[in-house]
A and B are shown apart, each in its own frame.
Chain A
Amino acid sequence: MSQLFDALLLLLLISTAITVVRATDLVAAVVKFGLYSLMMCVLWQHRGAPDVAIAEAAVGAGVTSVLFLLTVARTTRVEKP
């Protein structure tokens, strides 16, 4: 059961990572990346690394999302091919 949960989470992580790369709307990419960080945080906690999980939740899902959004606001929102 525990292994199944991890496998499911890893599959979700991989698919989220692919959607982040494929997104041309950069704000959508930032939001998806925050989702990725939250799932990563659950995975850290589940694998017994609560110290990393706390940092991942605060930095990965919180601070970097805002910094990415600020960067998008100062450049362009749509990725040019």
Chain B
Amino acid sequence: MRWLGLALVVVAAATLMLGVADLPPHGAPDAPVHTHVGARYLERGVAETGMRNLVTAVLLVYRGFDTFLEVVVIFSALVAVVALPRGRAARPDDGDDRPPAASLTAEGPAQQLVSVSPVVAFVVQLLGPFIAVFALASLYRGHVSPGGGFQSAAIFGALFIAIALVQGRERAALLVPRGARVWLQALGPLSFALIGTVGWILTGAFLGYPADAAAYALREAMVVAVEVGIAVGGAVILAQLFMAMEG
């Protein structure tokens, strides 16, 4: 059985290597990926969308519907985790009543929450504001430079988790207003659908953006609104995922 597995791996790896050897060199202009629809994006993307970051242009304009459903998928992931039964995880081998997520030890009696090293706490406090500014910058400048809603959401979510690990989840939870939490975690799909409908009214196509040069400011505002929705909604979803899994 072991040798059969090894043989399968070797055959599969050899097939993949053969395939890789046939690929065009990295960045070759005549590679199929650059001669198809990608060439049009590169030639006319900036003029058509007004975004200098073509990654964002493809995400939000040319493939806007895909991104919309992608945001819905992230939201569904949170729904799935929250729908899981709460409380202590099933551990057949121990019967004590220790709080969940209390220890990372393999065996032995319950160990209380590990205290946070002052070095870690200081580093998080020192870097936190810079991380937040970076996340904001990558959100607001996402359509002209690398970054965007998803990156900003990931950075904000990671920052929240770092704060929750150092300051405790009660203080970190204050960052997400309790009353608005339900709406904030659905902000990605909601803002996307709203802006898509606005585009529908303006251009006649769902998720359409006004294309003429005069509407540049409006188009930029719509893009930033979608990005803000993705960033805030995604960050709140990451924070809620952390809280749901921890508590």
Check B67 for interface membership: any CB of A closer than 8 A: no
A27 / chain B contacts, CB cutoff of 8 Å: 104
On whether the beta carbons of B104 and A72 are closer than 8 Å, the reply is: yes
Q: List the one stretch of B155-163, B176-184, B209-217 in contact with chain A.
A: B155-163
> Which chain B residue has the least Cβ–Cβ distance from A60?
B154
Q: A55-B151, A66-B161 are in contact. Are A73 and B241 (CB under 8 A)?
A: no
Q: How far is the CA of A73 from the CA of B247 in the complex (A)?
A: 12
Report B29 CB to chain A, min CB distance, Å. 15
Q: Which of A60-74 contact B (CB under 8 A)?
A: 62-63, 66-67, 69-74
Question: Is A78 close to B, CB under 8 A?
Answer: yes
Which residue of B has the minimal Cβ distance to A67? B245
Q: Once bound together, how far apart are the Cα atoms of A71 and B103, in whole Å?
A: 11
Closest to B234 in A: A59
* Residues of A with C-beta under 8 A to B157: 58-59, 63
Q: Classify chain A's interface size.
A: 20 to 34
The answer to whether A58 touches B158, judged by C-beta atoms less than 8 angstroms apart, is yes
Query: When the two chains form their complex, are residues A74 and B150 in contact, meaning their CB atoms are under 8 A apart?
Result: no
CA distance A58 to B152 in the complex (A): 9
**Nearest CB to that of B162 among chain A residues?**
A62
Give complex CA distance A55, B56 in Å. Answer: 13
* A55 x B150 contact (CB < 8 A): yes
B104 touches A54 (CB 8 A): no
Q: Is the CB of A62 within 8 A of B158?
A: yes
By the criterion CB–CB under 8 Å, are B165 and A74 in contact? no
Residue of B nearest to A53 (CB): B146
Residues of B within 8 A of A67 (CB): 241-242, 245
Which chain B residue lies CB-closest to A6? B26
| A interface residue numbers (CB < 8 A to B) | 25, 27, 47, 50-51, 54-55, 58-59, 62-63, 66-67, 69-78
Binding site for A on B (CB under 8 A): 26, 53, 55-56, 89, 91, 100-106, 138, 146-148, 150-151, 154-155, 157-158, 161-162, 165, 238, 241-242, 245-246
9 additional contacts (CB under 8 A) given A55-B151, A59-B154, A74-B101 = A54-B154, A55-B150, A59-B157, A62-B161, A63-B161, A66-B165, A69-B104, A73-B104, A74-B89
